[in-house]
Chain A
Amino acid sequence: MTIERFPVEASHILMFARSIGDTNPIYEDAEYAKGTEVGSIVAPPTFAQSSAQFDPDYFLRPKPGQAWFGSAREATGVKREKKDGESSGAAAGGLHAEQHFTFHRHLRPGDVLTATTKPGNTWEKEGKRSGKLMFSETITEYRDQTGELVITARGVGVRTERVIEQ
């Protein structure tokens, strides 16, 4: 998966900060930010995950003219045969097990990033509540407008045999 253009914008940083309930002025007030150690608005640490907005093929975003698996008139808009023992978690693309970010520097409004994702390791584990757990890793490198590596992200997804309930 490749994202060719992920423009980091102040309004997106503001919306993202609001969604995580973070009222820190470093995410919205450029005048305040000038007088701080970092010297400008920066993005919250996990902001890079919103690169999904700029992935043309991202499967968890409804697209015009394409069936969407969330509810509308029916409980799901996509009829799909489930294999025996396959969980609905798998039908929804699996669950997020781990996420890691290495920050070479923090993102600022005006950065224009590219992101390339490569598959990493895969492994299996036997879960108590969920049956067999199938893990897969992806590594995403975010580079800025000069080609410099700014964030390395490692995500681990898991598919389960059964729905995990509390």
Chain B
Amino acid sequence: MPLAATTKVGDSYEETIVENLSRTQIVQYAGASGDYNPIHTDEVFATQVAGYPTVFAHGMLTMGMTGKMLTNYVGDGRLTYYGVRFVRQVWPGDTLVARAEVSAVRTEDGATLADLVITTTNDKGEVVMTGDATARIG
């Protein structure tokens, strides 16, 4: 059910957006998005040249997966803004939970809008991404 105009500040929703992230899903995202940076998909390059412990997910994959939680919460085609900061890298094997909390409900040009604060956390309890979104709810 999409968010309704009765939504209140403090309402929240969370969802596990990926369990045990696979290197193959990172490859899948590279193929769909067109971002073939080898630090995300090429273990040899990532470890031997770039100096990382292994490959890591595109920030945009975390933003995309968190977007799934958002659209599940607010409804399809209702976002008017979605922005994030990438705080920490996301690694193969990570399980991520994305959460949205309503921080304001307001009216603009006759439409009811909800502002949301977004946090995506890994299974160590570390925040990997923070963000904000606005959705039309009525």
Q: Say if A and B assemble together.
A: yes
Are the CB atoms of B82 and A44 closer together than 8 Å? no
Give complex CA distance A86, B82 in Å: 32
Within the assembled complex, what's the spacing in Å between the Cα atoms of A62 and B41? 13
Contact A44/B80 with A20-B29, A76-B45 known, Cβ cut-off 8 Å = no
The residues in B between 18 and 65 inclusive whose CB is less than 8 angstroms from any CB of A are 18, 25, 28-29, 31-39, 41-42, 44-45, 48-53, 58-61, 63-65
Which of B2, B34, B42 is close to A71, meaning CB atoms less than 8 Å apart?
Answer: B42
Give the docked Cα–Cα distance between A49 and B84 (Å): 14
Q: What A residues does B86 contact at CB under 8 A?
A: 95-99
Minimum-distance CB pairs A-B, first 9: A100-B83, A70-B38, A20-B64, A38-B77, A53-B34, A52-B34, A71-B44, A19-B32, A88-B50
- Separation of A51 and B32 alpha carbons in the complex (Å): 10
Chain A's nearest CB lies how many Å from the CB of B91?
8
Is B49 touching A165 in the complex (CB atoms < 8 A)? no
In chain A, positions 68-115 with a C-beta closer than 8 Å to chain B are 69-71, 75-76, 87-89, 91-93, 95-103, 106
**Smallest Cβ-Cβ distance to B48: which chain A residue:** A75
Looking at the assembled complex, report how far the CB atom of B80 sits from the nearest CB atom of chain A, in whole angstroms. 5
- Of B45, B77, B86, the most chain A CB neighbours within 10 A belong to B77
Q: Are A49 and B81 in contact (CB under 8 A)?
A: no
Q: How far is the CA of A38 from the CA of B50 in the complex (A)?
A: 44
- The reply to whether B32 and A70 contact each other, CB–CB distance below 8 Å, is no
Q: Is A163 an interface residue (CB 8 A)?
A: yes
- Chain A 37-51, CB-CB to B under 8 Å as 1, else 0, gives 110001011100111
For the complex, give the distance between the alpha carbons of A88 and B56 in Å: 14
Question: Is B83 touching A98 in the complex (CB atoms < 8 A)?
Answer: yes
Least Cβ–Cβ distance between A15 and chain B, in angstroms? 5
Beyond A46-B60, A101-B81, 12 additional contacts (C-beta under 8 Å) are A18-B28, A20-B64, A20-B65, A38-B76, A44-B67, A45-B67, A49-B60, A50-B33, A88-B50, A92-B50, A96-B60, A163-B52
Nearest CB of A to B38, in Å: 3
- The interface centre, meaning the residue of B34, B37, B42, B85 with most chain A CB atoms within 10 A of its CB, is B34
In the complex, A24 has a CB within 8 A of chain B = yes
Return chain A residues, CB-CB under 8 Å to B59.
95-96, 99
A132 located at the interface, meaning its Cβ lies under 8 Å from any Cβ of chain B in the complex = no
A52 to B44, CA, bound (A): 24
Asked whether, in the complex, the Cβ of B79 is within 8 Å of the Cβ of A103, the reply is yes
Instruction: Answer whether residue A143 sits at the interface, using C-beta atoms and an 8 A cutoff.
Output: no
- Which A residues lie within 8 Å of B39 (CB)? 89, 92
Contact A37 B75 (CB under 8 A): yes
